[in-house]
């Protein structure tokens, strides 16, 4: 027990709670021990202490995360609130306090400048940071990658991603659900090289006076419809689209990989999570069945029978936590670390900058241009 990494978890019942139960990923995880809890309300603090089976003492219970970092000096800090206005501040303060690892609920931070500041602080202290992009840790994603490596898809030419397209469709969808699908886009297609996008509100391109403060601590956002294309490092083109209240009974949230020989649909909120079809999307002369993809590859008999969806997603989250621990011990970057967070934040800002300027933006993105063009 003494060799366990000491974890401090931070939530905010008054603003974003504990995200998607992020703190619970650290409960009974081998090699980790929760030693302190912080919440900005007394009731939320007591509930969190009970979850982690900790007594309420001056060394375990905190209403102020500054005090907790100063007094506890944990090895790992978990930033759990889904509202992101404090993500950067807590991450920077944690790195400066000398923590070895940080786990952050998505979205990462509110701007590219905040992402740069977090990376700078973590670099100085050699602090490892991982994001709760749990879909990346789904074994089905690795199985889909193997199918591509085996040539089942042929040459990957397009990656199409969509948000949930509910009342959050458009700008909020880009920030809140976009991280999951854009991360998968980059995972399969490589780093973005350029972005060309159109953001509209009521059918008209957005202007600066259309931007409003986003909910959940988000930055200034605009638009009820977004269409964006990205040139990717492997030569394929990625597309992201989201329309507010699109009226879909089953949201298209997820990505579709289109190759010259086949295609793969990935829908993170459903079981099975992915399907393969041994024909390109444009081949319609005969029926090509969709085959479920399981953890070990193509699994024609796979169903959702007997699957606990919540526990399955939690298992992916625990893999993300384990990746952070291994990154600390091996002195490497986690799979969905701070540079992934930077890329996703850059993609969001590039969408708005491209739409507002009418130009295609190329990487590396100009920091002065982003600050000048994108409202903050």
Instruction: Say yes or no: 100 and 165 in one domain.
Output: no
Q: What angle do CA 250, 319, 341 make, to 5 degrees?
A: 70
* CA pseudo-torsion sign 164, 333, 193, 364: positive
Instruction: Say yes or no: 53 and 187 in one domain.
Output: no
Structure confidence by residue, pLDDT tens digits, 349-363:
999 999 999 999 999
In a domain, 101, yes or no: yes
Say what the pLDDT of residue 90 is: 98
Say what the pLDDT of residue 117 is: 98
Instruction: Say yes or no: 184 and 299 in one domain.
Output: yes
Instruction: Say yes or no: 45 and 116 in one domain.
Output: yes
In a domain, 331, yes or no: no
Do residues 156 and 189 make contact, with C-beta atoms less than 8 angstroms apart? yes
Structure confidence by residue, pLDDT tens digits, 219-263:
999 999 999 999 999 999 999 999 999 987 666 799 999 999 999
Instruction: Say yes or no: 62 and 159 in one domain.
Output: no
Give the domain CATH number at 290: 3.30.360.10
In a domain, 176, yes or no: yes
Say what the pLDDT of residue 119 is: 98
Say what the pLDDT of residue 364 is: 98
- The β-bridge partners of 102 are 77, 129
- Domain span at residue 182 reads 138-306+347-357
In a domain, 342, yes or no: no
Give the domain-ending residue among 131, 149, 172.
131
Instruction: Say yes or no: 41 and 127 in one domain.
Output: yes
Instruction: Say yes or no: 235 and 271 in one domain.
Output: yes
Say what the pLDDT of residue 307 is: 85
Percentage of the chain surpassing pLDDT 90?
90
Instruction: Say yes or no: 79 and 155 in one domain.
Output: no
Do residues 154 and 261 make contact, with C-beta atoms less than 8 angstroms apart? yes
Instruction: Say yes or no: 117 and 244 in one domain.
Output: no
Instruction: Say yes or no: 39 and 74 in one domain.
Output: yes
**Has residue 82 got a pLDDT over 90?**
yes
Q: Which of 249, 118, 226 is nearest to 177 (CA)?
A: 226
Terminus-to-terminus CA distance in the chain, angstroms? 45
In a domain, 54, yes or no: yes
Give the domain-ending residue among 107, 131, 155.
131
β-strand 361-362 against 128-131: which pairing, if any?
A: unpaired
- Whole-model pTM: value is 0.96
Q: How confident is the model at residue 2 (pLDDT cuts 50, 70, 90)?
A: low
Q: Which of 127, 145, 128 is nearest to 136 (CA)?
A: 145
Hey, is 247 helix, strand or coil? coil
**Has residue 326 got a pLDDT over 70?**
yes
Into how many domains does the chain fold? 2
Hey, is 231 helix, strand or coil? strand
Say what the pLDDT of residue 1 is: 47
Give the domain CATH number at 45: 3.40.50.720
Between CA 99 and CA 69 the distance in angstroms is 9
Instruction: Say yes or no: 124 and 38 in one domain.
Output: yes
Structure confidence by residue, pLDDT tens digits, 161-210:
999 999 999 999 999 999 999 999 999 999 999 999 999 999 999 999 99
In whole angstroms, how far apart are CA 345 and each of 4, 112, 299?
A: 33, 6, 35
Instruction: Say yes or no: 242 and 289 in one domain.
Output: yes
């Amino acid at each position: 027990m003494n060799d366990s990494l000491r974890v401090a978890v931070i939530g905010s019942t008054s603003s974003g709670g504990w995200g998607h139960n992020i703190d619970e990923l650290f409960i009974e995880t081998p090699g980790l021990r929760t030693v302190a809890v912080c919440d900005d309300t007394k009731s939320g603090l007591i509930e969190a202490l009970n979850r982690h089976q900790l007594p309420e003492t001056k060394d375990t219970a905190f209403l102020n995360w500054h005090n907790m970092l100063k007094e506890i000096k944990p090895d790992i800090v978990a930033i759990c609130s889904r509202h992101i206005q404090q993500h950067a501040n807590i991450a920077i303060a944690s790195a400066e306090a000398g923590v070895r690892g940080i786990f952050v609920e998505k979205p990462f931070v509110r701007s590219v400048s905040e992402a740069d500041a977090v990376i700078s602080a973590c670099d100085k202290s050699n602090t490892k940071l991982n994001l709760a992009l749990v879909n990346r840790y789904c074994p089905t994603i690795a199985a889909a990658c193997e199918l591509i490596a085996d040539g089942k898809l042929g040459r990957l030419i397009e990656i199409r991603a969509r948000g949930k397209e509910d009342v959050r469709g458009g700008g909020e969808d880009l920030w809140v659900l976009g991280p999951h699908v854009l991360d998968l886009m980059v995972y399969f297609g490589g780093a973005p090289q350029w972005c060309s996008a159109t953001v509209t509100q009521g059918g008209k391109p957005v202007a600066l006076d259309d931007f409003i403060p986003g909910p959940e601590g988000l930055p200034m956002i605009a638009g009820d419809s977004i269409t964006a294309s990205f040139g990717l490092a492997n030569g394929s083109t990625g597309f992201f689209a989201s329309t507010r209240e699109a009226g879909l009974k089953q949201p298209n949230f997820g990505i579709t990989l289109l190759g010259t020989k086949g295609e793969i649909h990935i829908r993170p909120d459903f079981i099975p999570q992915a399907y393969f079809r041994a024909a390109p999307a444009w081949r319609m002369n005969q029926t090509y069945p969709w085959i479920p993809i399981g953890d070990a590859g193509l699994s024609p008999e796979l169903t959702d029978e007997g699957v606990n969806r919540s526990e399955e997603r939690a298992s992916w989250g625990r893999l993300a936590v384990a990746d952070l621990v291994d990154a600390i011990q091996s002195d490497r970057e986690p799979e969905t670390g701070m540079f992934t967070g930077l890329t996703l934040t850059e993609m969001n800002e590039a969408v708005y900058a491209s739409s507002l300027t009418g130009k295609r933006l190329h990487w590396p993105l100009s920091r002065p241009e982003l600050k000048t063009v994108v409202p903050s």
